[in-house]
C-alpha cells in the first residue's frame, strides 16, 4: 500500500468520524437500537425470560411452600394474611420430630443400609455391564433383553413372590437338607443385601444399561494392549477399566444411594412386623405436639413437610458435592439407542 492510499483512507476515516460526531445523540441511539434486528432479539429474550420464569415458578413454588410451612407456628397456619413468609417462625416442629421420632437413630440405620446397598450395587452392576459390553457370547442379547425387562415389569407384581422367597429362604434346598428348616430373613437387612448382590435390586437394570453404554465407548485397543502385556481379564478390569470409570461409578453410587435412602416399597415389604427404624418411619406426628385445634389438618401437613425436609436434607448436601460427577456421568454414559 503506497502513501497516497494510506492518506486517502485516513481522510475517509476522519470524515466518517466527524459526520458521526455531528449527528445528534438521539439519531445515533436510534440507528443502533431501534432497528428490526435488535427489536426481534429483545422480543425473543423477553419471551424466553418470561417463559422460563413461569416454568420455574410452577416447579419451585411447591418446594417453597413446603419449606415455609415447616417453619410456621400454629398461629401462622390459621392466619389468612400469612402466605409464604411466617410471622412467628419456629423450630419447635423440627425439635419434636428429632426428639420423639428418633430421627438420628433412623438416620444412622438408613445411612448404613443405603451405603452398603449402594456399594454392592455399584460393583455388581459394573461387573455385569462390563461383561455385556466387551464379551460376545451365545445368548448375550437375550440376557441383556432380560435386564431391560426388569426395568419394565412393575415391582409390585413381584412383591408377594419376593416376600415369600425370603420368608422361606433356601438355596437349591441345601439349607433345608442340612438343618431341616428354611431361613426367615424378613425384618432384617439381608433381603436387600442379597438383591443388591445378585443385581436384582431396585433400578439395577438402569445402572447396568448406563454402565454398558459407557464401557462400549472405551476403545478395545486398551484391553488388547493389556492382554498382550500378560494381564488377565480381572487384572485388566481392575487396573485399566475401573480407573477410567471413576465418574460413572460415582454417578451410579449416588443414584443407588438416593433411591435406597427414600425407598419405602421394599422396606415396608421386608420389615412387615419389626425391624430397624428408618427415615420413612419418622413421617408421623410427634407425641409432644398437640394437633387438636381448628387448624389441625394444616398443622399435620406442616409436620409432614418438616419430616420430608429432614429426610431429603442429607441428599441435598450429597448432591451439592456430587452434582459435577452426576452431570459428567450422564454425559459419558451414552444413553442412546443402539
Mean pLDDT per 10-residue section of the chain, whose length is 338 residues: 60 55 56 65 87 88 86 83 84 90 91 93 91 84 85 82 84 73 83 88 86 86 82 84 85 89 85 78 85 80 89 87 71 51
The answer as to whether 312 is a domain residue is no
189 close to 174: Cβ distance less than 8 angstroms: no
Judgement on whether residues 215 and 141 belong to the same structural domain of the protein:
yes
Chain Cα centroid distance, residue 216 = 24
Q: What is the pLDDT of residue 121?
A: 92
Q: Which three cell numbers stand for residue 53?
A: 420464569
Claim to verify: residue 37 and residue 117 sit in the same structural domain: no
pLDDT at residue 294, as a whole number: 72
Last residue of a domain, one of 17, 52, 72: 72
Looking at the fold, whether 226 and 278 belong to one and the same domain comes out as yes
169 forms beta bridges with: 183
Predicted confidence at residue 9, as pLDDT, reads 64
Distance CA 258, CA 264 (A): 12
Q: How many domains does the chain have?
A: 2
- The answer to whether residue 266 sits within a structural domain is yes
Q: Kindly state whether residue 323 falls inside one of the protein's structural domains.
A: no
Domain shared by 236 and 109, yes or no: yes
For position 130, which CATH number holds? 1.10.3720.10
327 in any annotated domain: no
Length of the chain: 338
Q: Are 121 and 204 in contact (CB under 8 A)?
A: yes
Sorted by sequence, the CB contacts under 8 Å of residue 239 that are 6+ apart come out as 226, 231
Grid cell listed for 305: 413437610
Q: Are residues 41 and 129 in the same domain?
A: no
* Residue 294 covered by a domain: no
DSSP per-residue letters across 5-64: HHHHHHHHHHHHHHHHHHS-HHHHHHHHTSSHHHHHHHHHHHHHHHHHHHHHHHHHHHHH
Write out the three cell numbers for 189: 437387612
Region of 201 on the Ramachandran plot (φ > 0 left; ψ -120 to 50 alpha; else beta): beta
> Cα(104)–Cα(83) distance, rounded to whole angstroms?
31
Whether 86 is covered by a domain: the verdict is: no
Range of the domain at 13: 3-72
- For residues 21 and 169, membership in a common domain is answered with no
Q: Are residues 145 and 278 in the same domain?
A: yes
Evaluate the CA torsion angle 82, 85, 89, 94 in order and state its sign: positive
Q: Is residue 25 part of a domain?
A: yes
Q: Tell me phi and psi for residue 77, to 5 degrees.
A: -70, -30
pLDDT at 124: 92
Q: For position 16, what pLDDT does the model report?
A: 52
Q: Which of 52, 72, 92 is the last residue of a domain?
A: 72
Is residue 275 located within the same domain as residue 219?
yes
The answer to whether residues 68 and 166 belong to one domain is: no
User: For residue 337, what pLDDT is reported?
Assistant: 42
What is the spatial distance between Cα 259 and Cα 250, in angstroms, rounded to a whole number? 14
Q: Are residues 259 and 207 in the same domain?
A: yes
Contact 251, 333 (CB under 8 A): yes
C-alpha Rg value of the chain to the nearest Å: 31
Look at residue 338 in the predicted model and tell me its pLDDT: 43
On whether residue 93 sits in a domain, the answer given is no
Amino acid at each position: 500500500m503506497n502513501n497516497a492510499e494510506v492518506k486517502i483512507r485516513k481522510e475517509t476515516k476522519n470524515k466518517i468520524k466527524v459526520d458521526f460526531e455531528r449527528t445528534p445523540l438521539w439519531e445515533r441511539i436510534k440507528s443502533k437500537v431501534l432497528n428490526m434486528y435488535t427489536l426481534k432479539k429483545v422480543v425473543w429474550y423477553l419471551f424466553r425470560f418470561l417463559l422460563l420464569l413461569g416454568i420455574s415458578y410452577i416447579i419451585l413454588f411447591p418446594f417453597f411452600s413446603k419449606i415455609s410451612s415447616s417453619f410456621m407456628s400454629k398461629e401462622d397456619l390459621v392466619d389468612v394474611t400469612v402466605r409464604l413468609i411466617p410471622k412467628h417462625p419456629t423450630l419447635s416442629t423440627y425439635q419434636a420430630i428429632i426428639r420423639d421420632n428418633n430421627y438420628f437413630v433412623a438416620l444412622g440405620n438408613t445411612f448404613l443400609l443405603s451405603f452398603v446397598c449402594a456399594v454392592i450395587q455399584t460393583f455388581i452392576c459394573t461387573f455385569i455391564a462390563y461383561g455385556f459390553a466387551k464379551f460376545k457370547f451365545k445368548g448375550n442379547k437375550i440376557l441383556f433383553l432380560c435386564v431391560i425387562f426388569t426395568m419394565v415389569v412393575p415391582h409390585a407384581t413381584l412383591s408377594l413372590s419376593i416376600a415369600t422367597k425370603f420368608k422361606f429362604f433356601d438355596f437349591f434346598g441345601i439349607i433345608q437338607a442340612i438343618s431341616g428348616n428354611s431361613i426367615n430373613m424378613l425384618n432384617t437387612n439381608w433381603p436387600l443385601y442379597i438383591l443388591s448382590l445378585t443385581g436384582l435390586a431396585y433400578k439395577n437394570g438402569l445402572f447396568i444399561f448406563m454402565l454398558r453404554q459407557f464401557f462400549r465407548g472405551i476403545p478395545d485397543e486398551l484391553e488388547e494392549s493389556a492382554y498382550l502385556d500378560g494381564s488377565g481379564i480381572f487384572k485388566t478390569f481392575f487396573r485399566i477399566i475401573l480407573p477410567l470409570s471413576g465418574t460413572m461409578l460415582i454417578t451410579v453410587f449416588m443414584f443407588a444411594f438416593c433411591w435406597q435412602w427414600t425407598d419405602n416399597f421394599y422396606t415396608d415389604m421386608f420389615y412387615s412386623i419389626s425391624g430397624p427404624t428408618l427415615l420413612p418411619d419418622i413421617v408421623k406426628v410427634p407425641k409432644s405436639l398437640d394437633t387438636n385445634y381448628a387448624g389441625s389438618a394444616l398443622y399435620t401437613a406442616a409436620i409432614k413437610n418438616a419430616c420430608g425436609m429432614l429426610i431429603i436434607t442429607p441428599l441435598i448436601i450429597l448432591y451439592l458435592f456430587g452434582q459435577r460427577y452426576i452431570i459428567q456421568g450422564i454425559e459419558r454414559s451414552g444413553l442412546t439407542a443402539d
